[in-house]
Amino acid sequence: MILITNDDGIHAPGLRKLIEIARQFGDVAVVAPDKPQSGMSHAITVSSPLRLFKQDEGDGYVEYSCNGTPVDAVKLGEQIVLGEKPTLVLSGINHGSNASVNVVYSGTMAAVIEATIDGIPAIGFSLNDYSRNADFSAVDDYIKTIITNVLKNGLPEGTCLNVNFPAVPKKDIKGIKVCRQAKGRWAEEFDERLDPHKRRYFWLTGVFEDGDTSPDTDSMALANNYVAVVPVHYDLTAHKAIREIEKWKFEI
């Protein structure tokens, strides 16, 4: 059984495309947020009850929405809907890039990281187009070959895949590149406004700055019309820094 979720919500076209492709591999269960949950990262719901709402059911297929985050959806899918670990967890297809540092904020990728923590192979898919009317027609064969390889070969322990597609016609995609996450950051600012009661409120705005032009990064792969595949793990330890910090003199 394949478990599918996303962060754009149960009605997102990207989710519909991923369901269509995944059903070619076998039985599918869908548990996705009932509304957009972009930028939720690894948030979980602990202060209010979670609810599941059945949307559809058929031969080898069941679909639920939930009032939680993408990580909540994975937990509910595994523990409540299936009652066991799925063979594979897929998340997406996200409307917008999750390359570079965006992976840190991404609800799409948080869902696959949650699955990885639980020992389940998992893949997050994103298209570099934020429009709700984004064209997903070029992704089918690439998603199929990536899923096929994961099911055949497995993934290294503690590792999931962050897959990003360029928003170009299929004829312009040059292939797949396995690469590293680019270094980048959001140059953010707050747009301050006043409500009708003269109280201040703020909208977060910003521009993504990617100064990492190395050819082995996901950002450069996308810029050159490659499908970028980045192996991601949830171990946040800065292993190279351990020996350096061990040299410090901690005087109590």
Q: Confidence band (pLDDT; 50, 70, 90) for 143?
A: very high
Does position 185 have pLDDT exceeding 80, yes or no? no
Look up tokens 């994961």; give the residue: 150
On whether the CB atoms of residues 92 and 109 are closer than 8 A, the answer is: no
Look up tokens 């996200």; give the residue: 94
* pTM: predicted TM-score of the whole model, two decimal places: 0.92
The pLDDT value given to residue 76: 98
What would the pLDDT profile of 79-98 be if each residue is shown by its tens digit?
Answer: 999 999 999 999 999 999 99
Look up tokens 């991404």; give the residue: 106
Spell out the alpha helix ranges (H) of the chain: 13-22, 70-76, 102-105, 107-117, 140-153, 218-223, 239-246
Which domains does the chain show, CATH number per domain? 2-182+213-246 (3.40.1210.10)
On whether the CB atoms of residues 221 and 179 are closer than 8 A, the answer is: yes
What would the pLDDT profile of 29-62 be if each residue is shown by its tens digit?
Answer: 999 999 988 888 899 999 999 999 999 999 999 9
The pLDDT value given to residue 249: 87
Determine the Cα–Cα distance for residues 26 and 169; give it in Å rounded to an integer. 28
The pLDDT value given to residue 184: 76
- In Å, how far are 162, 230, 243 from 77, measured between CA atoms? 21, 25, 41
